[in-house]
Structure 1
Amino acid sequence: MKEKSAPLMVVSLMMIMMIIRPCLGRFVVEKNNLKVTSPDSLKGVYECAIGNFGVPQYGGTMGGIVVFPKSNEKACKTFSDDEIPYKSKPGGHPIFLLVDRGECYFTLKAWNAQTGGAAAVLVEDDRIEPLITMDTPEEGAAQDDYVQNITIPSALISKALGDKIKKAVKNGEVVHISLDWRETVPHPDERVEYEFWTNSNDECGPKCDAQIEFVKEFKGAAQILEKKGYTRFTPHYITWYCPEAFILSRQCTTQCINRGRYCAPDPEQDFSVGYDGKDVVLQNLRQACFFKVANDSGKPWLWWDYVSDFAIRCPMRAKRFTKECADRVIRSLGVDLKKVDECIGDPDADVENPVLKAEQEAQIGHDTRGDVTMLPTLIVNNRQYRGKLARNAVLKAICAGFEETTEPSLCLTPDIETNECLENNGGCWQDKHANLTACRDTFRGRVCECPTVQGVKFVGDGYVHCEASGLFRCKINNGGCWQDTRGGRTYSACVDEHTHGCKCPPGFRGDGVRSCEDIDECKEKVACQCPECNCKNTWGSYECSCKNGLLYMQEHDICISKDGSSRVGWAFIWVITLGLAAAGLGAYVVYKYRIRRYMDSEIRAIMAQYMPLDSNVEIAGHDSHESI
């Protein structure tokens, strides 16, 4: 515990200690792709920097229309309370609000854009420079309560791209873009390796509170993934060293261990109260050693239990941030306390600690990963996570690191859904009457995709149009076609034999989708046209009757007498009779002529075989006899 306050110069020295080592390395700005699909003059793929707040849609994409505010261009003030100006309309595309950099924190711009209804915020840089990471405000620099409530993704774009987009918007052109995070996290195989760079300090304000809450909430998911071999997790801790010229100063000896080799800033940034940075370093080391011992015993997931339990049972505010309290937690988890103490070693010895030395070396970036300079930091498959440190957001990033189609079931359950479809249906198509929607919420983000229901596939763009297609489409919401029932009779504009489209049935006309109107066949004179006919229109059809008790024959559109007394009826009978008589006479003539000729020819042929028919036969026979 502290004995007296430190001079302001020493406080500044400790702040220098916090930044001197990271400056020797390399910081990498994590980026994702921004694709402009319209207008043609801006089409292309651009880079943008992911903000270190909000919820990036790792593994997925998000499309939207860019809007630039007519006032409040820097979004440093809340937008009108009378309306939500940037909330996308039902069936419309999400709104991406483009704002200028400057005058206020990035987080405040994002918060005002979110409360204004925007689905994402794009911040245009105010200078020509390489992209930077938009971070959260330092402790005490701004109200931090809203930062953890930011849920929309944010991106910093270059000044050149921002100016082009603003020009197109001001000219009345529709600028459609898509933010793409699918390749932000590499997904090479069936296992995800991730690191969590954290700190045991619980007196750093809202950031520490959010970090502790994250550990508690994420513990269950982390342990499931680790136990089943889906992930390999490693915790890490940042420490700094004390400049050699100040190693023997009281300030370095109270903030560092092992003769100034491993230091941490004062938890409260006030040397006169509370715990020292040395206490934080020792607890960091204890947590790292706990993980090492648990991992060696085949139970690395116990680290999550230890850290969450220690935060609950041994907080600084309750003056229980001690070795004794930590030992009780370790014993309760069944981990060998003796091995943990051996790993910690002697913090007062003028020697290197192998665990903390390895942590300092791991802090320096390698390959595509930059230095770790911010706390907390999550690294997934060697890429630094950016965004809100929350269970669902982090789990989404981890799930994006699995090779496609190899994701564990945990990634496909509602546990990690962000419920993007619950608000404005995610900007996708929906049919409220049939309870159908094209919005699907997955760990890779919301997608607008026409659904397949009971084997019937809907086709369309997923945003403003989806239509049932294929056979049996009529059983799902009647294929989206018109249908009505009156007087026990039902008519429909959907026919299963057709794979798509709607057509009003016979007796109706219309578009087949919204309406089909009955055709008045009587008024349009398409039926019941005989002189004795009476026509009555019905819904979808008509009825014909005859005057004076006559009987209507629909196939001939005539009226005939029921008792044979009608002139019209006798005329019809005479026509039939004469027709039958003519047919009989014709058959008799054909019979008499064709059959008679056939019989005569047969008789002549038979007689020719038994008697000579002319003189030529006789002469031929006589000549033959004389020659003998």
Structure 2
Amino acid sequence: MKVGKSGFVACICFLLMYGSCLGRFVVEKNSLRVTSPDNLKDVYECAIGNFGVPQYGGTLTGAVLYPKSNQKACQSFDSSLKSKPAGGLPLFVLLDRGECYFTLKAWNAQNAGAAAILVADDRQEPLITMDMPEEENAHADYLQNITIPSALISMSLGNSIKKALNKGDMVNIKLDWTEALPHPDERVEYEFWTNSNDECGAKCDSQINFVKEFKGAAQILEKKGYTQFTPRYITWYCPEAFTLSKQCKSQCINHGRYCAPDPEQDFSKGYDGKDVVVQNLRQACFYKVANETGKPWLWWDYVTDFSIRCPMKDKKYTKECADEVIKSLGVDLKKIDECVGNTEANVDNSVLKAEQEAQIGKGSRGDVTILPTLVINSRQYRGKLAKQAVLKAICSGFEETTEPAVCLSDEIQTNECLDNNGGCWMDKTANITACRDTFRGKVCECPTVQGVKFVGDGYKHCEASGELRCEVNNGGCWKSTQLGRTYSACIDDHTKGCKCPPGFKGDGVKSCEDVNECKDKTACQCPSCKCKNTWGSYECTCSGNLLYMREHDTCISKDGKSEVSWGFVWVIILGLAVAGAAGYAFYTYRVRTYMDSEIRAIMAQYMPLDNQAEIEVHGTRGNV
């Protein structure tokens, strides 16, 4: 591909910084699974294009079509490709690399009905990132309207797919982005590598439009602690031997330590690269001060307002204009000026030095070489810089089931729980379900309802557990009310399971049947008793002038006579009374004897008793 002026300048700047144009650029990839035909079934790697909308966190399955003509898609297709056989699946168009920009291939295929494009490489080499064209060759009227995902595949895989299609085989492919970005925990950390320059063509326009559109969502996510956002700025440095050159003086600050390309690519007019570096530094310092006061989200307001009030084309790209924006947002201007420091001094600036260090890739991230670039959980985002596309990517960075509600909205993804409850367990009576919608799809997980945890496999079985289990759907147990009386098979303790209450029998879950105590002869067994079964209990009555005692299952006379020998009862009562009196007398005697002995011992210490001889006490005499 051709390298335009800005690309050339960027390369020159990297040459100054690294000594070569070969920064450690990482190609971001997703997986591609061929599901048919059988001889091609396997998982392959493909490179994500830096345009369109990759389905981060999701998958897309389609049938592949290789057009008979216009196979590089450098011209519009004469007719729609939708009419081509695709087995009812979305259409993936296989295209050849070469002759025109990747973006033009995607645009022509999208207009012809393609759901995604696969670009087959035309040489044996490692996969590369398909990027947008340089600004002077870009067509802004279509670049930002590409919405389908794209993938670059190896030449060998492309040839294998073409061969299968020529044989008449249907080639079905599943593009999978579920692991394209890491999702380790419940917070997403992301960086936006940006630039304050607003005169760099279509990319600058799309960048500031993105900031304006995404500001609201970004601030909500940041305020609620779902994300940790950091703005970043690329700078380069001049080798020491060139710090006094016209180019370095116009593009760099702090004696060549921090540089940016000239906005107009002309050193003799307009703003210089050093003006861009200073404004980049001021934006970075604004974030630093706002973050220290607990309001990092104000950065989005500052950048948005600065682009509107202080554009280069109106000659307002100045410190004075920036200061007015800072004052309007209530951020300490003095601290920001201290952070910016003296840009003419031959010293390091701590903020820009940290930016240069962060620019060099660590681990799997790679160097940041494209502006603008979004880095999500230390992985570079690829695709269209638009609100919905970026929000979708950020949502894919949350650990499953921890994503905020905005990630589950209809604009971001579909709710798989709406279709047959996602195949999960559900209690239709209480409207409780184990299906939980997540960004990557549904999970079958027994829920927690009103503080009560349900346990089970989530697919066929869930039941309430814990101390309050009976308060939610009666713990899934049987419960019924008749004639103002309610019985439940749920035991309100830490156990789980259901047990029919006394007076009932059954499984305790679906049913509990009344036990007929009268028929089973488990109640009212006394000779004069008459038994009547009731729901959950029974009633006993006695014939004649008798009163039924339920605890003894017997009848007694209302006037004191009963079928039980009351003489025997009185013998027991008298026996207990005698035993009590004897015990009391023994207790009294023992206490009196003990007290007498204690009193006598005390008295003996103070006076001799009549029956006790005087005791001679021998002492010692001290020396006089």
- Normalised TM-score (structure 1): 0.64
Indicate how the Cα distance of structure 1 residues 398 and 274 shifts in structure 2: closer, same or farther if over 3 A, else same: same
Correspondences of 1:114-133 after superposition (within 5 Å)? 114-133=110-129
RMSD between aligned residues: 2.5
The 2-side partners of 1:263 and 1:418 are apart by 46
Q: Is the 8 A contact 1:88 1:94 kept in 2?
A: no
Alpha-carbon offset, residue 25 of structure 1: 4.0
Which of residues 301, 306, 311 is equivalent to 1:315?
A: 311
What is the SS of the residue equivalent to 1:35? strand
The 1-side partners of 2:217 and 2:121 are apart by 38
Correspondences of 1:185-334 after superposition (within 5 Å)? 185-334=181-330
Alpha-carbon offset, residue 442 of structure 1: 8.7
Q: Give the residue type in structure 1 aligned to 2:147.
A: T
The 2-side partners of 1:14 and 1:128 are apart by 28
The 1-side partners of 2:230 and 2:23 are apart by 22
The 1-side partners of 2:439 and 2:311 are apart by 34
The 1-side partners of 2:405 and 2:87 are apart by 31
Correspondences of 1:427-506 after superposition (within 5 Å)? 444=440
Say whether 1:41 aligns with 2:39: yes
The 2-side partners of 1:168 and 1:209 are apart by 43
Q: Is the 8 A contact 1:87 1:117 kept in 2?
A: no
Number of residue equivalences: 417
Which of residues 57, 80, 88 is equivalent to 2:55?
A: 57
Alpha-carbon offset, residue 88 of structure 1: 7.3
Aligned to 2:28: 30
The 1-side partners of 2:87 and 2:166 are apart by 24
Correspondences of 1:365-384 after superposition (within 5 Å)? 365-384=361-380
The 2-side partners of 1:13 and 1:208 are apart by 16
Q: Is the 8 A contact 1:94 1:119 kept in 2?
A: yes
What is the SS of the residue equivalent to 2:140? coil
The 1-side partners of 2:130 and 2:11 are apart by 21
Correspondences of 1:70-149 after superposition (within 5 Å)? 70-80=68-78, 83-86=79-82, 92-149=88-145
Alpha-carbon offset, residue 270 of structure 1: 1.9
What is the SS of the residue equivalent to 2:136? coil
Q: Give the residue type in structure 1 aligned to 2:157.
A: L
What is the SS of the residue equivalent to 1:46? strand
Q: Is the 8 A contact 2:32 2:43 kept in 1?
A: yes
Q: Give the residue type in structure 1 aligned to 2:114.
A: A
What is the SS of the residue equivalent to 2:281? helix
Say whether 1:66 aligns with 2:64: yes
The 1-side partners of 2:185 and 2:224 are apart by 15
Indicate how the Cα distance of structure 1 residues 105 and 10 shifts in structure 2: closer, same or farther if over 3 A, else same: closer
Indicate how the Cα distance of structure 1 residues 384 and 282 shifts in structure 2: closer, same or farther if over 3 A, else same: same
Which of residues 160, 163, 186 is equivalent to 1:164?
A: 160
The 2-side partners of 1:263 and 1:372 are apart by 16
Which of residues 362, 386, 394 is equivalent to 2:390?
A: 394
The 1-side partners of 2:409 and 2:9 are apart by 49
Indicate how the Cα distance of structure 1 residues 14 and 137 shifts in structure 2: closer, same or farther if over 3 A, else same: closer
The 2-side partners of 1:75 and 1:145 are apart by 18
Alpha-carbon offset, residue 39 of structure 1: 0.2
Say whether 1:404 aligns with 2:390: no
Report % sequence identity: 73
Alignment deviations for residues 66-102 of structure 1 (CA, whole Å, 9 cap, x no partner) = 000000011111001xx31236789810000000000
Alignment deviations for residues 249-269 of structure 1 (CA, whole Å, 9 cap, x no partner) = 122111100000100001111
The 1-side partners of 2:363 and 2:35 are apart by 33
Q: Give the residue type in structure 2 aligned to 1:337.
A: L
Alpha-carbon offset, residue 412 of structure 1: 1.3
Alpha-carbon offset, residue 144 of structure 1: 3.3
What is the SS of the residue equivalent to 1:411? helix
The 1-side partners of 2:284 and 2:85 are apart by 51
Indicate how the Cα distance of structure 1 residues 172 and 307 shifts in structure 2: closer, same or farther if over 3 A, else same: same
Mark the runs of 5 or more structure 1 residues left unpaired by the alignment: 1-8, 420-440, 447-628
Alpha-carbon offset, residue 20 of structure 1: 4.3
Mark the runs of 5 or more structure 2 residues left unpaired by the alignment: 416-436, 443-624
Indicate how the Cα distance of structure 1 residues 418 and 199 shifts in structure 2: closer, same or farther if over 3 A, else same: farther
Indicate how the Cα distance of structure 1 residues 10 and 305 shifts in structure 2: closer, same or farther if over 3 A, else same: closer
The 2-side partners of 1:280 and 1:445 are apart by 44
Indicate how the Cα distance of structure 1 residues 89 and 167 shifts in structure 2: closer, same or farther if over 3 A, else same: closer
Q: Give the residue type in structure 1 aligned to 2:65.
A: V
Indicate how the Cα distance of structure 1 residues 144 and 71 shifts in structure 2: closer, same or farther if over 3 A, else same: same
Which of residues 361, 371, 380 is equivalent to 2:357?
A: 361
The 1-side partners of 2:202 and 2:111 are apart by 21
Alpha-carbon offset, residue 243 of structure 1: 2.4
Alignment deviations for residues 441-460 of structure 1 (CA, whole Å, 9 cap, x no partner) = 996599xxxxxxxxxxxxxx
